[in-house]
Structure 1
Amino acid sequence: MPLNIIHDARGSPKIVLSEPTGSTAEVLLYGGQVVSWKNERRDELLFMSSKAIWKPPKAIRGGIPVCFPQFANFGSLEQHGFARNRLWSLDDCPQPLPPANNQSTVDLILKSTEQDLKTWPHRFELRLHISLSAGKLTFIPRVRNVDNKAFSFTFALRNYLTVSDISEVRVEGLETLDYFDNSMQRERYTEQADAITFDGEIDRIYLSTPTKIAMIDHEKKRTFVLRKEGMPDAVVWNPWDKKAKALPDLGDEDYTTMLCVDSAAIETPIVLKPLEEWKGRQELSTVSSSYCSGQLDPRKVLLGFS
């Protein structure tokens, strides 16, 4: 399906993906970032901060930013690395993928610049294939080492999801797993609850996670299902009220309608020898939550996506 490359009201080039049932996604070349994903009823599925800064070189808070070559400040670079505040290009040599009916796709590429090499001295090519189909948004990131020496990196796709009320949301699929608690000096704990619920700040990196995680929004009767490959960790984040007020690019009440559940490779950095390539995959989909005694059975949701 043909790409629509337009400039938004701020002058930023973007690609609009659309598919026959009516869902759409907007992808900025700045950051290679998806900033909107609407379903066939035109409901926005991604959260965008009411105070997001849309002017380079700032990162845009919301949507799905790409964190590379480091996540958070697990290294010497700026927070979450530099890929999310660089201008990407359309990839004219994408990896051939099997043709799929009723999909709208775009292939983007980011290459190391001389400026980047001063802070992270490794030559790379970061490719991102994004495809939209009915009820589904898929990402295939690939990192290739085009240097003459090995390098390592961490990576994440930060998924800002919009929810009706964070205090009514449950995250299923991470129970019994170990996690690093970033709000407690990265102490390691084991998840004891049968689901993650929210009544305060949560900033955790869950380790060796399953390929499927469900985010259940009771009020909207909607469940997001995250499927991922090549990214063994998952980050769950909501800043709650005090942290939200401390972040200049987040509205004071924005935390009540946002949830981040990220696909990530953090605990064990990815190591690439010269000319080696890493590939990941993330698929976000939505299903209507079916209720039984006022509560969704998450096992049915997860089994339905096996």
Structure 2
Amino acid sequence: MSTIELTAPDGARATLSLHGGHLLSWRPAGAPEQLYLSPRSEFVPGRAIRGGVPVCFPQFAERGPLPKHGFARTLPWELVSQEQGRDDALVVLRLRDSDATRAHWPHAFELELSVRVGGRSIDIELACENLGDAPLQFTTALHTYLRVADLDAVSVEGLSGLRYFDSVKQAEALQRMDLLLTGEKGVLDLDRIYFGVKERPLVVTEERRQVVFTHQGFDDAVVWNPGPDRCAKLADMPPDGWSEMLCLEAANIGRPIELPPGESWVGRQSLALL
């Protein structure tokens, strides 16, 4: 499949696939790969890529009548522009409505995905414009797979005090402290939607490494890891893949985005390696 390589003047790099508008790789300046990409991903038309940063649109998961996570991650996107600046590199991709999208979702729209990389950070911006003559509504997420070396040594700070929906237990609960992923029981079927995160920073810590996630335009966040049992049932993941990744996703799920005709929405997720 067609891929695009971004290289900033300082050596920071990112790789994207036009299939799904999918960020596959992020290597900050002077640092190793930060994203997890399954070695069993199927890079074929119509199938989602496992890992990196899939774009979930216009539906998150199975919370609606559309295919799981919508159609944006399985369709071809087009390259709009690519450039290298003094301090960074930028690419813009586009997805417009087509016969394939209207078969599932009868709306005229335009999505733009902008990825900017430089130094120790990466910005991922998703924008949607309603090109039709009727209002549209959608949920969305940037389904970021962060690579980790030892999941037992990982914590997520910034979620304390937030209400969340546990998609495994199908119940709501309150996060009373930082999320500590210590011991096997801590990562079995971890699938939570945290509401009202908004612009508070979330920090993933693993020994001496920290990655700070900040969001703009996204109200919620998802934390997901399939654990060993569910991972073993995923054909596009190795059996031990669950121990090498943690998904932390900027999302709008609890309150869908509503766009009148001619209006636009923009959401951004930024990652910084400390």
TM-score range, shorter chain: over 0.9
The alignment status of 1:228 with 2:215, answered yes or no, reads yes
**RMSD of the TM alignment (CA)?**
1.5
Higher strand share: 2
**Residues 62 and 69 of structure 2 are in contact (CA less than 8 Å); yes or no, is this contact kept in structure 1?**
yes
Cα deviation for residue 247 of structure 1 reads 1.0
User: In the alignment, which residue of structure 1 is the partner of 2:122?
Assistant: 137
Q: CA 1:280 to 1:100, structure 2 compared with 1: closer, same or farther past 3 Å?
A: farther
For 2:30 and 2:37, how far apart are their aligned partners in 1? 19
For 1:210 and 1:274, how far apart are their aligned partners in 2? 25
User: In the alignment, which residue of structure 1 is the partner of 2:241?
Assistant: 254
What SS does structure 2 have at the residue aligned with 1:279? strand
Among 252, 263, 269, the residue aligned to 1:276: 263
For 2:243 and 2:215, how far apart are their aligned partners in 1? 26
User: In the alignment, which residue of structure 2 is the partner of 1:243?
Assistant: 230
Letter in 2 for 1:205: I
For 1:20 and 1:30, how far apart are their aligned partners in 2? 26
**Residues 109 and 130 of structure 2 are in contact (CA less than 8 Å); yes or no, is this contact kept in structure 1?**
yes
What SS does structure 2 have at the residue aligned with 1:243? helix
**Residues 198 and 217 of structure 2 are in contact (CA less than 8 Å); yes or no, is this contact kept in structure 1?**
no
What SS does structure 1 have at the residue aligned with 2:181? coil
The 4+ residue runs of structure 1 with deviation greater than 6 A are none
Higher relative contact order (CA 8 A, sep 6+): 2
> How many residues get paired?
268
The alignment status of 1:101 with 2:101, answered yes or no, reads no
For 1:274 and 1:42, how far apart are their aligned partners in 2? 44
Among 204, 214, 235, the residue aligned to 1:215: 204
Among 103, 106, 119, the residue aligned to 1:121: 106
For 2:100 and 2:137, how far apart are their aligned partners in 1? 19
For 1:117 and 1:20, how far apart are their aligned partners in 2? 41
What SS does structure 2 have at the residue aligned with 1:115? helix
For 1:158 and 1:82, how far apart are their aligned partners in 2? 14
User: In the alignment, which residue of structure 1 is the partner of 2:65?
Assistant: 76
For 1:161 and 1:216, how far apart are their aligned partners in 2? 11
What's the TM-score once normalised by structure 2's chain length?
0.94
**Residues 125 and 146 of structure 1 are in contact (CA less than 8 Å); yes or no, is this contact kept in structure 2?**
yes
User: In the alignment, which residue of structure 2 is the partner of 1:175?
Assistant: 160
Identity among equivalent pairs (%): 36
Q: CA 1:223 to 1:42, structure 2 compared with 1: closer, same or farther past 3 Å?
A: closer
For 2:216 and 2:180, how far apart are their aligned partners in 1? 22
Cα deviation for residue 91 of structure 1 reads 2.1
**Residues 63 and 159 of structure 1 are in contact (CA less than 8 Å); yes or no, is this contact kept in structure 2?**
yes
For 1:31 and 1:136, how far apart are their aligned partners in 2? 22
Deviations 1:209-267 (A, max 9, x none): 1521000011xx11110010110100000111001001111110011110000000000
User: In the alignment, which residue of structure 2 is the partner of 1:153?
Assistant: 138
Among 187, 192, 196, the residue aligned to 1:204: 192
**Residues 54 and 60 of structure 1 are in contact (CA less than 8 Å); yes or no, is this contact kept in structure 2?**
yes
What SS does structure 2 have at the residue aligned with 1:91? strand
The alignment status of 1:67 with 2:51, answered yes or no, reads no
The alignment status of 1:188 with 2:172, answered yes or no, reads yes
User: In the alignment, which residue of structure 2 is the partner of 1:292?
Assistant: none
User: In the alignment, which residue of structure 2 is the partner of 1:285?
Assistant: 272
What's the TM-score once normalised by structure 1's chain length?
0.85
Deviations 1:66-118 (A, max 9, x none): 000011011111110000011000126x9xxxx96311001111001012101
Cα deviation for residue 33 of structure 1 reads 0.6
Letter in 2 for 1:256: S
What SS does structure 2 have at the residue aligned with 1:167? helix
Cα deviation for residue 181 of structure 1 reads 0.4
**Residues 8 and 85 of structure 2 are in contact (CA less than 8 Å); yes or no, is this contact kept in structure 1?**
no
Deviations 1:128-151 (A, max 9, x none): 111011011101211000011001
**Residues 50 and 254 of structure 1 are in contact (CA less than 8 Å); yes or no, is this contact kept in structure 2?**
no
What SS does structure 1 have at the residue aligned with 2:232? helix
